[in-house]
Amino acid sequence: MEFINHIFNEDVLSGIDKISDNSLDLIIADPPYCLGKDYGNDSDKMEPNKYLKWSYQWIDSVLPKLKDTGSLYIFLTWRYSPEIFSHIKTKMKMINEIIWDRRVPSMGGSTRSFSSVHDTIGFFVKSKNYYFDLDSIRIPYDEETKKARTRSIFVGKKWLEVGYNPKDLWSVSRLHKQDPERQEHPTQKPLEIIDRMILASSPKKGFVLDPFMGSGTTALSCIKNDRDYIGFELNIDYCKLIKTRIDNFKIMQDDLKSQQVLNLEVS
pLDDT single digits (tens) 175-209:
888 888 888 888 889 999 999 999 999 999 999 99
Give me the count of residues in the chain: 267
Around Cβ 51, how many Cβ atoms within 10 Å?
22
d(CA 191, CA 266): 33
CB 243 within 8 A of CB 19: no
What is residue 19's predicted lDDT score, i.e. its pLDDT?
Answer: 96
Residue-wise pLDDT for 121-178, tens only, equals: 999 999 999 999 999 999 988 877 766 655 555 555 666 778 889 999 999 998 888 8
Task: Identify the DSSP state of 157.
Answer: -
Around Cβ 31, how many Cβ atoms within 10 Å?
21
- CA 39: distance to chain centroid? 19
H helices within the chain, ranges in order?
12-15, 48-62, 81-89, 143-148, 158-162, 191-201, 217-224, 236-266
What is residue 163's predicted lDDT score, i.e. its pLDDT?
Answer: 87
Domain boundaries, the chain: 6-103+113-138+168-266
Q: What share of the chain is helix, strand, coil (3-state, %, to 5)?
A: 40, 20, 45
- CATH topology for 6-103+113-138+168-266 is Rossmann fold (3.40.50)
Around Cβ 146, how many Cβ atoms within 10 Å?
13
d(CA 33, CA 41): 14
Residue-wise pLDDT for 79-116, tens only, equals: 999 999 999 999 999 999 999 999 988 767 778 988 88
Residue-wise pLDDT for 198-251, tens only, equals: 999 999 999 999 999 999 999 999 999 999 999 999 999 999 999 999 999 989
Count of H helices and E strands in the chain?
8, 8
What is residue 179's predicted lDDT score, i.e. its pLDDT?
Answer: 83
What is residue 2's predicted lDDT score, i.e. its pLDDT?
Answer: 62
What is residue 150's predicted lDDT score, i.e. its pLDDT?
Answer: 57
What is residue 122's predicted lDDT score, i.e. its pLDDT?
Answer: 98
d(CA 189, CA 179): 12
d(CA 237, CA 39): 10
What is residue 227's predicted lDDT score, i.e. its pLDDT?
Answer: 98
CA angle 124, 130, 136 (to 5 degrees): 95
pLDDT classification of 75: cutoffs 50, 70, 90: very high
What is residue 263's predicted lDDT score, i.e. its pLDDT?
Answer: 74
d(CA 218, CA 213): 7
What is residue 50's predicted lDDT score, i.e. its pLDDT?
Answer: 97
Q: Strand 228-232 and strand 169-171: pairing? A: unpaired
Around Cβ 231, how many Cβ atoms within 10 Å?
25
Contacts of 252 (CB under 8 A, 6+ apart): none
Q: What is the mean pLDDT of the chain?
A: 91
